[in-house]
Amino acid sequence: MSGLINYVSCGALWLGLLVRAPDLLRHRRDPYLRAICAVLGLAGLCFFLGAPPTVGAVNRIGDVPNLAAPVTYVAITGYCAASQLLVVHWRGGPRVRRTARRWLLAYAVVVLGITVTFALGEAPVERRTDLDTYYATTPFIAQMIVLYLVAHLTAVTVTTVSALRWARRVRGGLRAGLTLLGTGSLCGAGYSVAKLVAVGARWSGRDWSKLGTTVSPAAAGLGALLTVVGVLVPLAAPRITEWRRARRTYARLEPLERALDDLLTRRTLRLPRPRLASPTTRLMWRQTSVHNALSHLDPYFDRELYDRTRAGVLAATGEAERAEAAAWAAVITAAVREEADAGRRVPPRDGGDGQMLDRVPDPTALVRIADALAGAAPVPAAGAVPSGTTTAGTA
């Protein structure tokens, strides 16, 4: 009776609410955000109120045996109403407000029914875990139990169908999130079904209370976990995609950084490597190191070599981006070797320093240059380039 499942589920749901809270604060009038935050908050409250220690505390504070039952059932009904509002805003359409008001009115009637039936019934013996089956044959209390279970089953069924149906129409993180949310709602339906079966068995004289005390909490806990993940996946998916893209780009830039490694080390141009950093931060670090090296090499860049190589590769392949990458690879390779020759001085070209920074490659171009240096985008054979031209990988 520790209520561990309840408290863990409550914590997971409220953690999801905490993650979504900043969005809600920025977009207070967004009905979708309000509904999804209400779903997370009320679902967590249901688990919190349903934990046996909390049940005992509510009964003791209210000084009414089993007062926690209608309080928890009202919270569950509020969760059901929020779920239906979420589905309504998902579907959209011209009658959103009217449909939302109808669902709110319907669940307000359920709340009233729970309150009235509990007041009319008698439940003098405190039951913290098996009230549903223990009082399944008690007048008015039985009606209260069935009322909240049917209301909950209706809400999670509609949510399951709507989420899974919408998931088939979208792609990416939203589809994964909706699938998880629909599956979580389906597990929530298992909570209601298990309790209804246990209550029905009690009506026929059988004792299947284990369904309500073991199967139902497990189904509800799994549903809560899947619901939270389903809510968070659409938020995390864009960032995960960005990190994957940054990781691939970081790896592709490695040949270019390797070609500049000696220069970066000798001239202390490389910033300290970030530790425990995100892929995006590591990519920025590598790009910064490359740009530092290119800025240092600018006086050594041979514009004529660039133009000759680019023209030759463009004539041979007809691909402008490939030609530009090959030309940059050629001048970078030549400039690195020239700069490393300590006995040579940098000759002033075209009347002053600075040869190529006016056309410094952007991040996308850096990746193509790295591919050219790695041989992933090979340039034509030397014979295809005008005489005197240097291609990537040669000096």
* 335 vs 1, residue with greater confidence: 335
CB 289 within 8 A of CB 253: no
Q: How many CB atoms are located within 10 Å of the residue 33 CB? A: 18
**228 touches 256 (CB < 8 A):** no
Tokens of 107: 């669940």
Buried b (16+ CB within 10 A) or exposed e, 236-250: ebeeeeebeebeebb
DSSP H/E element including 362: none
**Could you read off the pLDDT of 50-91 as tens digits, one per residue?**
899 999 999 999 999 899 999 999 999 998 888 888 888 877
How sure is the predictor about 359, in pLDDT bands with cuts at 50, 70 and 90? low
Residue 388 has pLDDT above 50, yes or no: no
| Predicted local distance difference test score (pLDDT) of residue 189 | 93
Cross-strand bridge partners of residue 349: 352
Per-residue pLDDT band at 391 (split at 50, 70, 90): very low
- Split at pLDDT 50, 70, 90, the class of 228 is confident
DSSP state, 344?
-
pLDDT at res. 392: 42
CB count within 10 Å of CB 251 equals 13
pLDDT of residue 173: 84
Q: pLDDT at residue 166 above 90? A: no
CA atoms of 199 and 60, how far apart (whole Å):
26
Q: Is residue 169's pLDDT more than 70?
A: yes
| 8-state DSSP, 211 | I
The mean pLDDT value of the chain amounts to 86
Q: What is the pLDDT of residue 68?
A: 93
**DSSP assignment of 201-218:** HHHTT---HHIIIIIHHH
- Whole-number Å distance between alpha carbons of 63 and 56: 10
Query: Across the chain, which distance is largest between two alpha carbons, in Å?
Result: 103
Q: Is 293 helix (H, G, I), strand (E, B) or coil?
A: helix
What's the pTM value of the predicted model, to 2 decimals? 0.69
Mean pLDDT of 309-328: 90
